[in-house]
Amino acid sequence: MTIDSRLSWTQVRDEIRARILNRTYAPGDKLPRDEDLAQELGCARTTVHRAMQDLSLAGLVERKRKGGTHVKADPVTRATFDIPITRREVEQRGSKYGYQLIQRSVELTPPAIMARFGLPKAIKMMRVKALHLSDNRPFILEDRWIDIRSNPEILEVDLTTQSANEWLVLHKPYSRLDLRFYAMNATGEIAKHLDTPDTSAVLVIERTTWIGAEPITTVQAVTTPGYQLSSVR
């Protein structure tokens, strides 16, 4: 199997989760070693490790040093929200995806962004504003900040052809996520880009990720009126 055809950590996670749900791995069972799963699935051991981390956070498995990984006897039931690739989200709805880069710049982080990351002082980050389209209509407006210390490669990415959302999901796994949902009224620039009347009610999804203690990215994703979010377990 070539590197390009190897499974991603999310695909490995979904495969293991499916085995847990169909009782291939029953509650209390000890799972195969990460090395054995990696060999079976044709991926790197680190890919399995990342998948297991996510399953542990989701409450499905329990990992103990030198004790291996077990399916929880009483797994926690909770809704889980993966960070989606917006292009795939649109295409899975049967619509045509489009993308427009609005702004790309390197700026000092304002107080609100410092607060999201818990930064003691302002640092330079890349700011990216972009509009995702569905059937040539506004779908999601992103206002994103990317830490260029932990993601120096982003400086070389052509963000006119690939969204920062897609590049980060594919290349930058995270170890910690802060996820918030809230409603707001679209006004000014937001209403203009979403092509919606001022004061329209919109859903905002705010995500901030870290790898260890290092910030990766924070994004305010403002959805078009009528957007629906679902979680499938």
**What token pair was written down for 84?**
């989606």
- Which pTM was predicted? 0.68
pLDDT tens-place string over residues 196-210:
999 999 999 999 998
Give the β-pairing of 176-186 and 200-211. Answer: antiparallel
Instruction: Output the CATH code of domain 86-223.
Output: 3.40.1410.10
Show the DSSP H helices in 130-217 as ranges.
Answer: 164-171, 188-194
pLDDT tens-place string over residues 120-150:
999 999 999 999 999 999 999 999 999 999 9
Residue 88 neighbours by CB under 8 Å, 6+ apart: none
* Nearest alpha carbon to residue 98 among 87, 84, 109, 110: 87
Extents of the domains making up the chain: 3-71, 86-223
Arithmetic mean of pLDDT, 174-194: 92
Instruction: Output the CATH code of domain 3-71.
Output: 1.10.10.10
Confidence of residue 3 (pLDDT cuts 50, 70, 90): very low
Q: How many angstroms separate the CA atoms of 24 and 157, rounded? A: 41
Looking at the DSSP bridge assignments, the partners of residue 97 are 134
Q: Supply φ then ψ for residue 22, to 5 degrees.
A: -90, 10
**The domains spanning 3-71 and 86-223 adopt the same CATH topology:** no
